[in-house]
A = this chain, B = another copy of it.
Amino acid sequence: MTYCVGIAVDAGLCFIADSRTNAGVDDVNTYSKLYRFSIEGERQIIVLCAGNLATTQGVITQIKRDAKMNAAQNILNISHLEDIADYIGELSVARQEKHASGSNTFEASFIVGGQIKGHKHNLYRVYAAGNHIKISVSTPFLQIGESKYGKPILDRIIVPESTLDTAAMCGLVSMDSTMKSNLSVGPPIEVVLYTRDSFSSERHYVFEESSDYLRNVSRAWDEKLRAAFAGMPPIAWSGKWNEADLGNR
């Protein structure tokens, strides 16, 4: 499986992806799921992938080829980020349909984010059906893959006013929770931070399994969480939990 999250705050964008891919428990491999397409000073586009690896690789290959061949419509010349989401959706559906037969489907989903000069930075999620949604003020993040384990912390912490560092730390904690609860998500973990209006992705981090930093984040969060839990007020437990509160069946 996969877990990828994109976070859009006022200050910019944060992308985090794991790198574990499996086609059965005895076929676990590491593939990057984070791709960057950019023209320095003009546009920065980041694509995260989840789902069938043959489909996502096919889509990324086609995106690269279109850009290299300078196709009429390619990721480096499409004028709006939303149209890039649409373009990726079309490539994905075409690739899925080519191989699908009966109940064998090869679904994939994508997060596309970035900024094109003259436009605001933004973030889209492309569904397997090829359609897409974008972030909203109340939900300034998008997830693909094994998204549920890591959603609660994002729900609590991320607001549009969060700093990029907060977004990145929250994304890493969300990734850590997912890895703890689901063995099919694992390092290396890739992080890209994009500062609004910079049109450059100066910050790209890869944390290997052996990374001290990743281990420190994991250990610190585990300790903090246990301490937080241990600090839950016990008063109410013995005090307010009395017969008056009880329902009877």
Interface residues of A, Cβ cutoff 8 Å to B: 32, 36, 146, 148-153, 155-157, 165, 168-170, 173, 177-178, 180-181, 188, 190, 204-207, 211-213, 216-217, 220-222, 224-229, 231-234, 236-237, 240-241, 245-249
Using Cβ atoms and an 8 Å threshold, which residues of chain B touch A231?
224
B165 touches A237 (CB 8 A): yes
Of B149, B181, B205, B232, which is within 8 A of A224 by CB?
B232
B217 touches A236 (CB 8 A): yes
Give complex CA distance A151, B177 in Å: 9
Residue of B nearest to A154 (CB): B181
The 8 closest A-B pairs by CB, nearest first: A206-B247, A148-B148, A224-B228, A152-B177, A228-B228, A151-B181, A213-B240, A152-B181
Using Cβ atoms and an 8 Å threshold, which residues of chain B touch A150?
152
A156 touches B173 (CB 8 A): no
Give complex CA distance A92, B212 in Å: 49
Give complex CA distance A156, B218 in Å: 12
A245 touches B213 (CB 8 A): yes
So how many copies of this chain end up in the complex?
Answer: 2
Of B151, B188, B229, B241, which is within 8 A of A173 by CB?
B229
Given known contacts A149-B149, A217-B232, A228-B224, A32 and B249 CB-to-CB distance under 8 angstroms: yes
A156 touches B213 (CB 8 A): no
Give complex CA distance A169, B180 in Å: 20
Given known contacts A212-B240, A231-B224, A245 and B149 CB-to-CB distance under 8 angstroms: no
Minimum C-beta distance from A87 to chain B (A)? 22
**Residue of A225, A229, A240, A246 ringed by the most chain B CB atoms within 10 A:** A229
B228 touches A213 (CB 8 A): no
Minimum C-beta distance from A235 to chain B (A)? 9
Minimum C-beta distance from A4 to chain B (A)? 16
Using Cβ atoms and an 8 Å threshold, which residues of chain B touch A217?
232, 236
A232 touches B221 (CB 8 A): yes
Using Cβ atoms and an 8 Å threshold, which residues of chain B touch A151?
149, 181
Minimum C-beta distance from A132 to chain B (A)? 22
B152 touches A204 (CB 8 A): no
Minimum C-beta distance from A165 to chain B (A)? 6
Give complex CA distance A183, B87 in Å: 32
